[in-house]
């Protein structure tokens, strides 16, 4: 059995180590030129980070690898002594900083809003996200055991997983997207037309890259390339944290894998819950991808 703990902050479960350092995280000082990558877990965080890095490095793969070795963009809520916390790592980074978070809007350190930072949000459809998170919790030794698929299904729809409810997370960021500098992207769109979505990210970052460079970025950030790349496939992370013999970090990278996991009854129930929970939100997810 894994020795892991989640604790609650304002109704949201987080890793206990983050909660222990909560005041330090909340008083984090954002800078106006920070770019914050925001996602619910398993929505394509690693993917969008690689896209952002490749844009930043003008499509130069070697430079991108070196940049990742120097500083993988810290999660601001990461706090695992004796390693430096995300907040400490961010303080040491040169500006403009690229940071990451899985926090829902209402738990974000307020200085991000006060400084009008840029936010890059990636949403993934809830069903695939649930499947991906289930396999991730099987292999991740610092997150709780997911239990059976049936048990996990219940936990996920009730938001009883790390970083809380998928529904609240996505709704919360979607609601703020026109009030702040938020580029709101969908995993499924990046999958369908990567070049188009990468172009949006490039414009959002204020960069201009020519067609050939964009094509290189599309190629280098494909699932196949990232699965082989030791900087992105997490093969450098010790087995005591990520046990890839249970399930690889770069697992499938597809849209619609939920169909291999959901029973017909679970799917009907999920669609009903989805409609209730997302009622009143203008966000438009296709439930039958
Ligand atoms: P699956 O478990 O469905 O394969 P995160 O980085 O937020 O933890 O998300 C991980 C999910 O994104 C995994 O989903 C992973 O395979 C997928 N992913 C990572 N890189 C990808 C890419 N280049 N293309 C498509 N999916 C990718």
What's the mean pLDDT when you consider all of the chain?
95
Q: Is the CB of 47 under 6 A from ligand 1?
A: yes
The answer on pLDDT for 229 being more than 80 is yes
**H/E segment holding residue 37:** strand 35-39
Q: Which atom of ligand 1 is nearest to the CA of 251?
A: 4
Write the CB contacts of 263 (distance below 8 Å, at least 6 apart in sequence).
Answer: none
Taking the CA of residue 135 as reference, the ligand 1 atom at the shortest distance is: 2
Question: Within a 10 A sphere around the Cβ of 13, how many other Cβ atoms?
Answer: 20
Residue 80 confidence (pLDDT) = 85
Q: Which of 45, 140, 253 to mutate to test the pocket of ligand 1 (most atoms within 8 A of CB)?
A: 253
User: In 3D, which of 65, 203, 42, 219 has the Cα closest to residue 135?
Assistant: 42
Does 95 score more than 90 pLDDT? yes
Average pLDDT for 193-212: 98
| Whole-number Å distance between alpha carbons of 160 and 256 | 23
Using CA positions, which residue lies closest to atom 27 of ligand 1?
253
- Cα 221 to ligand 1 centroid, rounded to whole Å: 11
Is 45 a residue whose pLDDT tops 70?
Answer: yes
Per-residue pLDDT at 69 exceeds 80: no
Reply yes or no on whether the pLDDT at 63 is more than 90. no
How distant is the alpha carbon of residue 230 from its chain centre?
19
Distances (CA, A) of 71 to 6, 47, 86, 125, 245: 27, 16, 11, 29, 26
Residue 48 near residue 73 (C-beta atoms within 8 A): no
Average pLDDT score over residue span 182-188: 98
Q: Name the phi and psi angles at 213, rounded to 5.
A: -65, -40
Task: Report the pLDDT value the prediction gives residue 259, as an integer from 0 to 100.
Answer: 97
Each residue of 70-106: b (16+ CB within 10 Å) or e? eeebbbbbbbeeeeebbbebbeebeeebbbbbbbbbe
Catalytic residues, which ones? 102
Q: Name the helix (H) or strand (E) containing 70.
A: helix 61-70
User: For residue 1, what pLDDT band results from cuts at 50, 70 and 90?
Assistant: low
pTM of structure:
0.97
Are 258 and 128 a contacting pair, CB within 8 Å?
yes
Q: Average pLDDT for residues 58-64, to the nearest whole number?
A: 90
Sheet with 35-39, edge to edge strand ranges: 98-101, 35-39, 118-123, 181-186
Residue 257 near ligand 1, beta carbon < 6 Å? yes
pLDDT of residue 125: 97
pLDDT at 47 over 70: yes
User: How far apart are alpha carbons 257 and 28 in whole angstroms?
Assistant: 37
Q: What is the pLDDT of residue 4?
A: 79
* pLDDT for position 109: 98
Question: Mind listing the pLDDT tens digit for each residue in 146-180?
Answer: 999 999 999 999 999 999 999 999 999 999 999 99
Confidence of residue 252 (pLDDT cuts 50, 70, 90): very high
- For the cut 70, the answer to whether the pLDDT of residue 254 exceeds it is yes
Write down the ipTM of this complex.
Answer: 0.99
CA distances 134 to 9, 42, 149, 154, 155, Å, are: 22, 10, 7, 12, 10
**250 CB under 6 A from ligand 1?**
yes
Q: Is 256 strand, coil or helix?
A: coil
Q: Considering only CA atoms, which of 156, 106, 108, 104 is closest in space to residue 133? A: 156
170 CB neighbour count, 10 Å cutoff: 26
Ligand 1 mean position, distance from CA 61 (Å): 19
Report the atom number in ligand 1 closest to the C-alpha of 47. Answer: 20
Mean pLDDT within 41-69: 92
For ligand 1, whether the C-beta of 42 sits within 6 Å is: yes
What does the H/E/C string look like for 217-234? HHHHCCHHHHHHCCCCCC
Tell me the best of 41, 43, 47 to mutate to test the pocket of ligand 1, counting ligand atoms within 8 Å of each CB and taking the most: 47
For residue 242 the two structure tokens come to 């990520």
So what's the pLDDT on residue 11?
Answer: 95
Task: Report whether residue 102 contacts ligand 1, using a CB cutoff of 6 Å.
Answer: no
Cα 132 to middle of ligand 1, angstroms: 8
160 token code pair: 């009883």
Question: Could you tell me what percentage of the chain is helix, strand and coil, using 3-state DSSP and rounding each to the nearest 5?
Answer: 45, 10, 45
């Amino acid at each position: 059995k894994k020795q892991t703990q989640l604790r609650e902050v304002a109704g949201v479960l987080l890793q206990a180590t983050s909660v222990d350092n909560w005041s330090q995280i909340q008083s984090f000082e954002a800078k106006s030129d920070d770019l914050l990558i925001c996602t619910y877990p398993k929505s394509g965080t690693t993917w969008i980070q690689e896209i952002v890095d490749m844009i930043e490095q003008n499509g130069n793969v070697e430079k991108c690898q070196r940049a990742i070795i120097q500083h993988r963009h810290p999660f601001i809520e990461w706090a695992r002594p004796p390693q430096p916390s995300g907040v400490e790592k961010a303080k040491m980074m040169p500006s403009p900083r690229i940071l990451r978070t899985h926090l829902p809007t209402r738990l974000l350190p307020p200085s991000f809003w006060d400084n009008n930072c840029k936010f890059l949000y990636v949403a993934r459809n809830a069903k695939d996200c649930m499947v991906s998170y289930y396999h991730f919790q099987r292999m991740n030794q610092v997150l709780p055991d997911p239990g059976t698929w049936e048990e996990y299904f219940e936990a996920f729809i009730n938001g009883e997983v790390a970083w809380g409810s998928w529904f609240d997370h996505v709704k919360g960021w979607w609601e703020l997207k026109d009030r702040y500098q938020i580029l709101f992207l969908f995993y499924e769109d990046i999958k369908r037309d990567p070049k188009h979505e990468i172009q949006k990210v490039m414009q959002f970052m204020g960069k201009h890259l020519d067609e050939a460079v964009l094509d290189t970025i599309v190629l280098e950030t494909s699932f196949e390339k990232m699965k082989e790349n030791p900087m992105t496939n997490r093969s450098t992370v010790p087995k005591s944290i990520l046990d890839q013999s249970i399930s690889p970090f770069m697992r499938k990278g597809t849209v619609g894998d939920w169909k291999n996991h959901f029973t017909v009854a679970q799917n009907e129930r999920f669609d009903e819950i989805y409609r209730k929970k997302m009622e009143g939100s203008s966000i438009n997810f296709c439930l039958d991808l």
